[in-house]
Structure formats: structure tokens, C-alpha cells
Amino acid sequence: MANRANFLLPIALLLISVAVASASDGILRVSLKKRTLSRDSLVASRVAFNEEGTVALAARKFGLARGYLEPEPVGPVGPGEDDAGDIIGLKNYMNAQYFGEIGIGSPAQNFTVIFDTGSSNLWIPSAKCYFSVACYFHSKYKSSQSSTYQKNGKSASIHYGTGSISGFFSEDQVTIGDLVVNDQAFIEATKEPSVTFLVAKFDGILGLGFQEISVGNATPVWYNMVSQNLIKDAVFSFWFNRNSGDGEGGEVVFGGVDKNHFKGEHTYVPVTSKGYWQFAMGDILVGGNSTGFCANGCAAIADSGTSLIAGPTSVIAEINQQIGAAGVLSQQCKAVAAQYGEMIIEKLIAKEDPAKVCSSIGVCTYDGTHGVKAGIRSVVDKATGGFSDAMCTYCELAVTWMENQISQNKTVEQIISYVDKLCERLPSPMGESAVDCDSVSSMPNVSFTIGGKTFDLTPEQYVLEVTQGGTSQCISGFIALDVPQGPLWILGDVFMGAYHTVFDYGNLRVGFAEAA
């Protein structure tokens, strides 16, 4: 198993300075240049993760883990494939952060922000942030220097997996490209206690989710773009350039799509719950073979604020096993397979309710709702509660894995051996799982079924490779996340980098097409 510490060795990271120019076709374009950075932000993101002790989603674009604890989403449906609106260039930070520049106030004070479809507020550091070191390393908003500033003063706080920010609301005009949004409410952050924000390569976050999850019920920037008639169509789209060595990081287009960045037509699916851009997803396949986990449907979120693809531990472990990713070698998990394996298989073959199997053999306590089908809590989260909690979690995982194998008519010996191998592939408690860089070309495709269409990810697309001095570290693009309302999948930049994504607010739908 690869030593996690190896990933913290100096890495060639990229930041991009920005120059703005207007194209002759009336579309705003932002040209991007790159300069070399240190690896400090990557190191600190792990430190912050450790400090919080939170096993949420390791969102390597924020450089932090964000817990999906806010309300649920519902969404919109679509523009013409030839409509190009205002284009905002994005910076590409090691294929793990994409961010662009906005202005706030008159005259505009510039800030670098993540355009995040997984949240709905705009926040930036305040000049009134006196006691958080992070604020001294980022641009700060000075209300006294803006002629369009309006006082609000309502307090606000936003909690992420590895930290939080707090402050108060203010109102001012926000400039995005050549669009000016008037009377926009945003949060002036006066406290940024996490080391994550200290080393982040962005100043703040501009949320593009629905108002239903907006802290303080503040009207999102996107809503005001629409209501103030600043864009042609109520739609925005993302293109991420996954070539971190290229000069262009990607783009967000407000009011349309850029035909130069996708092939064919988009496959659209309706948003199922307002909040995040959530939709129904079908089966997940590895090497063309069904995992069986989402054959009857799963919920998924398209989230530009998440670097990797997150899903239930049981399935992520299966995927990582098949691609050879090494996570935590859990002797407790292997002990469950050895001690209770045959008993679990017998009960499943006898058609006992899978949610009750682990309680019936005395490993878990069934409370009427707890069980595999009701959603499994994080392995690491539960393991911190003690040995018995961990054994219960591993038992539930084994039930899920064994169900899949039984459906394939495997023998008892084959099933127990398979589960034993999966135990070795459980994702690391601290986030990523490593893969052999030399084996990437032989790894299988991983596919997601959306809108009845199969969207393939090749190994080159789902493996994140970081290189310095001729030495490479390869990381699996799949990370475990178990939520109480689950199962829930978060399709972050690994997926959105392969597929141009349209967020159609006017028609409440999300569309995907092969990126070009």
C-alpha cells in the first residue's frame, strides 16, 4: 500500500494569473497564464482535515472536506446548443481547483473565487477580519472604498467539513466579466479559522446552487443575473480543461453554452430536489460489468466544488479494488468476513431482510431503520466510536458486497475471498487511495448511467497524476462518502472534466455532453 506521506512530498503545483479581454464576437474571454506554486496548500488541506476529525467529502478543489449537511436540491431545464453567453475563464490548480475572478464594489475590488454549484452564497474576506491569519494572505473587501456599498449587518456563518467561515452580510454590486449585478447580498467573512483557508489559492466562494440552501436565505448571484435580465437564457455551463499543463483552465459561460467545448448533443435529466443540482442516476459499471448498486436508481449531484467523485463506501471499495487502488488494510473488516461470512450468506440466500442481517447475527443493533438499505455511516466515522461500532459497519459493508456476488451465482468460497480482497481496498480515512501509475493503461473504464445513456470514464480521466522531478504519484478519482439520506453520489470535477455540463435553471435540468 502506498504511504500517504509520499503524497505530501513537494509537488509541482500551478496557479494562473489572469488577463481579461473582450472578443470581437461580443463574448467576454479571460486569458490565463500560469506560474509555479509551492505544495503548502495541499499539505495544509490534510492538516485541516485531521484537525476537524471529520469524514465528510474530501473536496480537493476547496482543498477541504465539505459535509453535505444542508437542505436538499431541486432544479431547472434548457437552452439551445448554439447559445454562447458571457464567458468567464477559470484557473486550473493541479486539476484540483478551478477558480476565476470577480469584482465587488465601485470601483471594483477584485477577488478570486470558486464557482461552486454545491453551495449558494457568495463570501469573501472582509477588511474587518482582524484575528484570522488566513485573511492576511488574501484580498479583503473594503466597504469604505466602494460608492455602491449598502450596509446590511445580519450575521452569518457557513460550515464546511474542515472548517467554517463567519461574518456578516453586506450589499454591493458584483462584476462578473462585463456583467454587473446590482444590490447583491454577500458575506464579509471576519473569521476564517481553518488552516485550509490560510493556504487556499482562492479568496472566496461564489455559490451557484439554489436559494433553498442559501445561508440567511440570501438571493444567490445567479438568481439576480436572471431577474435583472443580464443574460439571454437562464442557463450556465462549465468546461474544465483537465490538462493542467495547458495555459487555459476552463470556463464558465453564463447565459448559454460554448459549442467549441463539447461534442454532439447534451443528455438532459430533470433536477429532482431543489438545493443542490440533484438528479436520478442509473447503474454504475466497472469494465462494462454492473456493480448492481444503482441498478434501481440512485441520487446524484453535479458539483463543481468537489474535485473527485464521491459515493457510498461499499461501491467505492469495489471500484478501487478493481482498479487496484490501495486504501486502508482493515483487519477488523477481514475478521468479519472470516467469522461471519458463511452465516451472512446463508441468511441472504434465505431471503432475510438485508437491513436486519447484521443485527440477527449479533454484530449490530437494529433500530427499525438502521441497516444497509437505510444508508451506512462512514467506516472511519463509526470506527472512531469503538471496536463494536467498526465491526457493525464492516458487517453492513459485507452484506452489500455479498448481495452483489450472490446475484452473480458465485460460490461461498468465492464470495468470502472477494469480500476479503475488498476489505484491503477500503478508502483511506484521510481521503484518497493511491494507484500504480504504471498500471493506468490497463485499468478498466468506470461508467455511469444518466438519462438512459452510459457515460464512460477512462483510467486517464479518473486517475489524478501529480509529478515532480520525474517522480509521479497517482491518486484514484473515487472517494468514499456515506450520508444518512443516501445513497448519494457527488460527480465532481473528475466527471465534469470529461463531460461538458449545462445547468439549466430555466427548465430545471442538468445536461452532459462529451467535452472537447
- Which residues are catalytically annotated? 116, 303
Q: Which contiguous run of DSSP H or E holds residue 141?
A: none
CB contact set of 268 (below 8 Å; sequence gap of 6+):
77, 78, 451, 502, 504, 509, 510, 511
Tell the residue number behind the cell numbers 484521510, with chain if given.
430
Residue reference for cell 452564497: 121
Q: Between the CA of residue 350 and those of 68, 142, 343, 357, 378, what are the distances in Å?
A: 36, 68, 11, 11, 28
Integer Cα distance of 277 and 502 in angstroms: 11
Most distant CA atoms of the chain, gap in Å: 74
Q: Which helix (H) or strand (E) holds 417?
A: helix 412-423
C-alpha cell at 260: 467549441
**CA atoms of 359 and 187, how far apart (whole Å):** 47
Grid cell 476529525 is found at: 53
Helices of type H across 187-265: 195-199, 221-227
| Whether 471 contacts 281, CB under 8 Å | no
**Cα–Cα dist 363/376, whole Å:** 14
Q: Is 474 in a helix, a strand, or coil?
A: strand
* CA end-to-end distance (rounded Å), the chain: 35
CA 102 – CA 115 distance, rounded (Å): 10
String of DSSP letters for 446-503: EEEEETTEEEEE-HHHHEEEEEETTEEEEEESEEE---TT--EEEE-HHHHHHEEEEE
Residue 84's SS3 state is: coil
Q: Is the peptide bond before 312 cis (omega within 30 degrees of 0)?
A: no
Element of type H or E holding 225: helix 221-227
**3-state SS, residue 324:** coil
Count of Cβ atoms closer than 10 Å to residue 304 Cβ: 26
Contact 457, 498 (CB under 8 A): yes
Angle, nearest 10°, between helix axes 412-423 and 313-323?
90
**Contact present, 279 and 213 (Cβ < 8 Å):** no
